[in-house]
Amino acid sequence: MNVPDWHPTSPLYAGNAAYLEQFGDDALTPWLNQPLPGAAAGSDAAQVAVLRLINAYRYLGVRQADLDPLRRFEPPPTPELDPAHYGLTEADLTREFETGSLFGVERTTLADILQRLNNAYCGHVGVEYMHITDVARKRWLQERIESAQGRFGVSIDLKKQLLKRLTDAETLEKFLHTRHVGQKRFSLEGGESLIPLLDQVIARCARHGAKEIVMGMAHRGRINVLANIMGCSLESLYEEPLNGYPDSPLSGDVKYHKGFSSDIATPYGPVHLALAFNPSHLEIVHPVVRGSVRARQDRRGDVLGYEVVPVILHGDAALSGQGVVMESLNMSQTRGFRNGGAIHIVINNQIGFTTSDPRDVRSTLYCTDVAKMVEAPVLHVNGDDPEAVAFAVQTAVDFRYTFHKNCFIDLVCYRRHGHNEQDEPLATQPLMYRRIQAHPSTRVLYAQRLVDESVLSQSQVDDLVDVCRERLEHGESLSSPILSDFKATYGMDWGRFKHGDPGEVPTAISASRLDFLGERITTLQHEIELHSRVQKVLDDRRRMRAGELPVDWGYAENLAYASLLDVGYNVRVSGQDSARGTFFHRHAVWHDQKRERRQSGVYVPLEHIHGRQGDFTIIDSLLSEEAVLAFEYGYATADPDTLVVWEAQFGDFANGAQVVIDQFITSGEAKWGRLCGLTLMLPHGLEGQGPEHSSARLERYLQLCAQENIQVCVPTLPAQMFHLLRRQLVRPVRKPLVIMSPKSLLRHPAATSSLADLSSGSFLPVIDDPRAPRDAKRVVACSGRVWFDLEAARAARGLDEVALVRVEQLYPFPETAFRAVLAAYPQAGTFVWAQEEPMNQGAWYQTLHHLNHCAPGGHRFHYAGRPAAAAPASGYVSRHRAELEALLNDALENPCEA
């Protein structure tokens, strides 16, 4: 039989590559991965050995790659890359073998195969991708890497551009070092290749059609990126933090937290760049960027992410150390949060503050191993080889656009100075820093390379430095041309909210429109069979629309959303179990009980108001608080015309997102001037269920209140929730809204409203007692569900001389409205603040000064509530009831201490 006759039918034929790769995968399982004795004895055995060797390079070649510019460590022993491990001998080097799925050649000698594998996988780019289960993605990457053979085909023009950008990066750092001696800037020195890297990312994305790129990064190299990529002037970076703006209400922030946006020119058209503001909490900006990108993509209808791209920069220690990275990656491919993939860039300077020993930094081989959880390829690249960096960029961006998945570039570099410019790294890292002190900069190395290749002369290299220095001396930008007159088609006008009136506005809608909206959200456009309990909810809502039942919380909330969608606003709600509602009250999504496929049999009434309505999105989010809330913050800061709501399953779940609340939501406007209309719904109430899930930690939010930065409200009626949600978009201001939302009140027979309450009036920051006489002797003020306990006790005890006043907005405290209500009781001599939370929690300490400021005739408010406690609530029902009884006695009857 001739070779051509049996070749296609052989199990070793290249067409069976998928099978052979699986065979190779099995070969890397330790208990199978044994040397093949006597492989040369039979041609088939030797052929199998060669295919296993090829596959081993795809898995493990990265371990032998030349990635560390400092070359501090020898590559780890990798016997799987030795032909002898598979029983192959020196005599086999000249034999020809089938290469299987190795790109570039179908059959060649073993020596040539080894050379090709070393060129592809063991040079200045090391690739990890064999953890990907999708064959098409693996094949694509194999072709890119194996066909390149470590020769990156960089044009003369690109070589010159790479050196120019390296020169810009290095010269800027030296300029700042001499001009601003001793000032913290978190230098990029040692990682200057980041600037040409980002330059190439922008150009490559623009080539694919990108119109906007949103970036997030920490402090390391941020000033260099701001100046050299974003086009931010050095004057604004250095003068603003020093002198500030005396007339500005903003507190400001340090220069290495600064965000910026600009429109730059590329060969493929204008691109809008945005660098997100960032606190010193590492990696938290990652989900913020994703949220901002999603808002921009939604605005453009950019479903696959062709036009708006997230570029997220990480530090090596933070990437492997911070849990929000895992949360964000886990979120990245889910329906409500995906962006079409992100470009991840790791500034891997091989040190985390002062910790550089991998044994102390992480429990994995590479800082990027977390990427494998979402099957993202990782391109490790030596930062001293700008051409390898450019190849990694082209591969990563093209992969992202081809498959709409995440891709990581691990830029292996070093940190020339300490953690900051005032730090002495030799004190703790003498070995590492002796190497760094003796190591030439990337610019010097690459310039010499281009001189050796006759691409440039030494005088031309020196001219680049001189021109760059001269431009810096004259305050000129080193970035791509900035398009100051460019007007983006999809930009948002935030100016209309800068000086808006925060006063109360009419939020009612006409009875006829309310009826129309009620009809739309209680009508099925196609027949589905609902669960009996859901059908009961729908039937009740139809009766509410007809006025036969009072309006409950779920109906009022859905009507609020419908009324906003009706006039073109968008609504986005996310949280764990938000579509149904934790307490089975919202039911914004209806499920057909007879459906046979997950993708069918789902009906969302709020998507069917009319053809010109706004977009409605409701998401049952992954079980994450920190990343999801940060995402929604990012979304809300990019779109003022969308009501963005994040609902905690229980209020204390927000504890896991405290960084987002402290560093962004409550202080972002004061630090950075970033407006945000994000709404938080935090179910709150002490209802005898123990210390967990009782308190949303109201006191924490009130402690964060100042300068009218946020709103904190505790609505007790469905109509109040209706008007509150509408107010969030109808008012010409954008402030975060924190709602202590109800739990048991959702089904309390007294916590209902009428249709007339929705078709008239507005949100009431203070609700007066509708039944108390004007000659009441005692006024009890409170917030939240405790009002209903007080009302029931007052009625049962016949205490007609006690007035119960609800404060529905705790911040900004409604002093004018509250003072007016108190003045309506001129006979009152006792004023009490009642709360269900312990004394050291709840509103008492944070609101007392407001209460006393409003009390008439020099009176002061007295406390009625649980004593101070370490835990939010008791886990014993008997104690809970006794505490409540004592609270009611103190509030309604007991004498108050002077």
Take residue 751 and report the two structure tokens written for it: 């916590």
Q: How far apart are CA 629 and CA 626, in angstroms?
A: 5
Q: What is the pLDDT of residue 795?
A: 95
Q: What is the pLDDT of residue 19?
A: 43
Judged against a pLDDT cut of 80, whether residue 15 lies above it is answered with no
User: Nearest Cα to 483, choosing from 295, 275, 300, 261?
Assistant: 261
Q: How far apart are CA 365 and CA 177, in angstroms?
A: 35
Q: How far apart are CA 444 and CA 269, in angstroms?
A: 32
Q: What is the pLDDT of residue 31?
A: 36
Q: What is the pLDDT of residue 246?
A: 60
Query: Is residue 475 within 8 Å of 233, Cβ to Cβ?
Result: yes
- 502-507: list long-range contacts, CB under 8 Å, 24+ apart: 502/708, 502/731, 502/733, 502/735, 502/812, 504/727, 504/762, 504/763, 504/765, 505/727, 505/730, 505/731, 505/762, 506/730, 506/761, 506/762, 507/722, 507/723, 507/726, 507/727, 507/730, 507/761, 507/762, 507/763
Render 693-740 in DSSP notation, one character per residue. TT---HHHHHHT--TT--EEE---SHHHHHHHHHHHHHSS----EEEE
Please give the angle made by the CA atoms of 693, 697 and 700, to the nearest 5 degrees. 160
Render 239-294 in DSSP notation, one character per residue. HHHHH--TT-------GGG--EEEEE--TT--EEEEE----SSTTTHHHHHHHHHH
Amino acid at 404: H
Torsion over CA of 440, 443, 444 and 446, rounded to 10 degrees? 110
| CB neighbours of residue 115 within 10 Å | 13
Residues 6+ apart with CB under 8 A from 129: 58, 137, 138, 141, 142, 377, 378
Helices (H), 416-531: 430-438, 442-452, 458-473, 511-520
Which string of b and e fits 554-590 if b means at least 16 CB within 10 Å? bbbbbbbbbbbbbeebbbbbbbbebbbbbbebbbbbb
Residue in the structure block whose two tokens are 């953890």: 131
pLDDT digits (tens, 9 = 90+) for 530-564: 999 999 999 999 999 999 999 999 999 999 999 99
End-to-end alpha-carbon separation of the chain, Å? 111
Q: How confident is the model at residue 427 (pLDDT cuts 50, 70, 90)?
A: confident
User: Nearest Cα to 205, choosing from 299, 332, 341, 330?
Assistant: 341
Take residue 29 and report the two structure tokens written for it: 């399982």
Q: How far apart are CA 259 and CA 252, in angstroms?
A: 12
Q: How far apart are CA 720 and CA 733, in angstroms?
A: 19
Judged against a pLDDT cut of 70, whether residue 282 lies above it is answered with yes
Q: How confident is the model at residue 239 (pLDDT cuts 50, 70, 90)?
A: low
Q: How far apart are CA 387 and CA 408, in angstroms?
A: 17
Q: What is the pLDDT of residue 178?
A: 83
Residues 6+ apart with CB under 8 A from 654: 625, 629, 648, 661, 680, 682, 696, 697
Q: Collapsing DSSP states into helix, strand and coil, what is residue 14?
A: helix
Query: Is residue 358 within 8 Å of 369, Cβ to Cβ?
Result: no
Judged against a pLDDT cut of 50, whether residue 4 lies above it is answered with no
SS3 annotation, 570-584: EEEEEECCCCCCCCC
pLDDT digits (tens, 9 = 90+) for 587-614: 999 999 988 887 778 999 999 999 999 9
The residue count for the chain: 898
Q: How far apart are CA 376 and CA 662, in angstroms?
A: 31
Q: Collapsing DSSP states into helix, strand and coil, what is residue 805?
A: strand
Q: What is the pLDDT of residue 8?
A: 39
Which of the two residues, 626 and 178, has the higher pLDDT score?
626
Give all domains of the chain, ordered by start, each with its CATH number: 3-134 (1.10.287.1150), 156-473 (3.40.50.970), 551-589+610-749 (3.40.50.12470), 766-892 (3.40.50.11610)
Judged against a pLDDT cut of 70, whether residue 41 lies above it is answered with no
User: Nearest Cα to 453, choosing from 171, 165, 196, 162?
Assistant: 162
Take residue 601 and report the two structure tokens written for it: 């049999």
pLDDT digits (tens, 9 = 90+) for 749-805: 999 999 999 999 999 999 999 887 889 999 999 999 999 999 999 999 999 899 999
Q: What is the pLDDT of residue 259?
A: 87
Of the segments 182-186, 469-473, 747-751, which one has the largest average pLDDT value? 747-751
Average pLDDT rounded to a whole number, residues 683-697: 93
Q: What is the pLDDT of residue 73?
A: 86
Q: What pairs with residue 740 in β-bridges? A: 682
Take residue 41 and report the two structure tokens written for it: 């004895």
Please give the angle made by the CA atoms of 288, 206 and 411, to the nearest 5 degrees. 60
Quick one: which H or E segment has residue 892?
helix 877-892
Q: How far apart are CA 797 and CA 818, in angstroms?
A: 26
Q: What is the pLDDT of residue 182?
A: 66
Q: What is the pLDDT of residue 341?
A: 97
Separation of CA 788 from chain center: 39
Q: What is the pLDDT of residue 27?
A: 45
